[in-house]
Amino acid sequence: MKVNKIPALIEVLECLPEILQEDINIAVADLEKIVAVHQGNRVRSENAVVGEKLTLDDFLKGILKEKKQVCHISKTSYFNVPTKTIITPVIDENGESCGVIFVTRDVERQSKVEDISVNVFQSFEQINAAIQEMASEANVLANYLSEITDYVVETVNKLGEVSKIILEIKEIVSESNLLALNIKIEAAKMADIGKGVAIVAGEMDKLSRKCKEFAQNTRALLLNMQCALKTVKERISNIRGIAENQAALNEEIAASVEQLLIEVKELSEIAKLS
């Protein structure tokens, strides 16, 4: 700002907060002391008074040297509230810095928004990580269930093969029964000579009946096992479908959370610029 405009600025100093509709503290200083000041309602300091010596630290010296406006944000300033201060060097007719203007406003609300945004952002990051882990585990579960389903299918097929073998055993038993019956008939024709043969035929018949009963029981058991395995297969298929659906839902949620993260990050950036 040009030095010739300073008197006009000082003239309207008290009106600026009302015009800007903001609680601000404005201080105008030369290179030695504060020459004009307006205290805000919350942004006020007992040290910022007319005649107060201006402390030229390295930060302020750098601004005066560069002759460029600087924005400084402080969460622990001597105003006791988070503030944003715009520091503007005053330039004289020779182009040199001859003073400085401090415009400080209360940014406690923006600071809280920024803090909340950061916390929410971190929370969403954690949620997103958890969802990603859940999705990964759901995929692993789906793979395991797929493997189990393959094993069940293989077992059912093998049981089918065993069932075929048992049917063949039943056919053999039926043929043995028929053979035993023929032996009995022939033994009866041979009277005393065929008694021994009849006894053997009787034992063959008993053994054949036992084999037939065993084959029937075994086949019934295998059929029950096949039914049970089919039920297990159906349940596993249902679980796999649920797991796949869960993984898809997790991906959708993760995408939504990622979008929220972007928006919260934008909100945080806006809060910083406010």
Domains of the chain with CATH codes: 3-106 (3.30.450.20), 112-273 (1.10.287.950)
In this prediction the pTM is 0.48
Q: What is the pLDDT of residue 69?
A: 92
CA of 80: how far to CAs of 46, 76, 107, 118, in Å? 11, 6, 11, 22
Pairing mode of beta strands 83-91, 70-74: antiparallel
Question: Can you tell me the distance from the alpha carbon of 25 to that of 7, in angstroms, rounded to the nearest whole number?
Answer: 17
Span 28-35, mean pLDDT? 89
Q: What is the pLDDT of residue 199?
A: 67
Q: Max Cα separation, the chain? A: 151
- Of 191 and 179, the one with more pLDDT: 179
Identify the band that residue 191 occupies on the pLDDT scale cut at 50, 70 and 90: low
Q: What is the pLDDT of residue 272?
A: 63
Span 221-249, mean pLDDT? 75
For residue 22, what is the DSSP state? S
Q: Any residues with CB less than 8 A from the CB of 15 and at least 6 apart, and which?
A: none
Average pLDDT over the chain reads: 77
Say yes or no to pLDDT of 147 above 80: no
State the Cα torsion 165-168-174-180 to the nearest 10°: -90
Q: In the β-sheet with 83-91, what is the strand arrangement from edge to edge?
A: 34-38, 24-30, 97-106, 83-91, 70-74
Span 35-46, mean pLDDT? 84
